Amino acid sequence: MPPAFRYQICMTHIKSLFATRLYHSNLSKFGDPVDPQELEASCWSIAQDDEAGQDWCEANGFPGYTSYASLTDLGWRFPIFEALQKILDQHVAEFAKDLEFDLDGHNLKLEDLWINILPEGGTHSAHIHPHSVISGTTYVAMPDGASAIKFEDPRHAMMMAAPARIKDAREEMRNFIYIAPEVGDVLLWESWLRHEVPMNMSEEDRISVSFNYSWG
């Protein structure tokens, strides 16, 4: 008989590279919850008094209201926003650990915090958050029919020659992902991840508070 042959079983390994992480939790995870009714009332109070923000929304064709371009001191105006920031700091710190960032002894710090009130028919087109590290949103009012948030594969622009994915493709293989959060949820993502808010199909307003964290 010929000498024994060593047979090697050839295994194929397919793995995912360059992960895109999405953090989804509840604000109350770290203890003291934020009262959603008080937070909603505070959002409305600020929106009604913020004439500069109202003017900016009208001038820029922004549906509903945002404080993004007008107010930088929500924590000073209402204590509940200061409490919210302390809670968000903990969520962001946990997400940063998952992302395995080397922060070189520094913490990620809140850079921007703003209110969004989106009425029926309102949308927020696809965008990223330049000059930030982590961005996110916590949800204050999500009536039935309120739009989910839509995330886009960051490689999309480089896949012009690729065929479409099959209809029931695995979540991590899809070009777009829709997340339907509930009141009290917080979502975090890296700021380069393009996202949008499709049309609000509810007759009631969709209210959220968004934020950016920077480093250094």
Q: What is the pTM of this model?
A: 0.92
**Distance of alpha carbon 25 from alpha carbon 79, whole angstroms:** 23
**Distance of alpha carbon 196 from alpha carbon 215, whole angstroms:** 24
Cα separations in angstroms, 109 against 43, 101, 124: 22, 14, 25
Residues 6 or more apart in contact with residue 9 via CB below 8 angstroms: none
Q: Are 213 and 109 in contact (CB under 8 A)?
A: yes
Q: Are 23 and 95 in contact (CB under 8 A)?
A: yes
Q: What domains are there in the chain, each with its CATH number? A: 22-214 (2.60.120.620)
Q: Which residues of the chain have pLDDT under 70?
A: 1-8
Task: Encode 13-41 in three state secondary structure.
Answer: CCCCCCCCCEEEEEHHHHCCCCCHHHHHH
Query: What pLDDT is attached to residue 1?
Result: 54
Query: What pLDDT is attached to residue 27?
Result: 94
Within the chain, where are the H helices?
Answer: 36-49, 51-59, 74-77, 79-98
What's the start-to-end Cα distance of the chain, in Å? 71
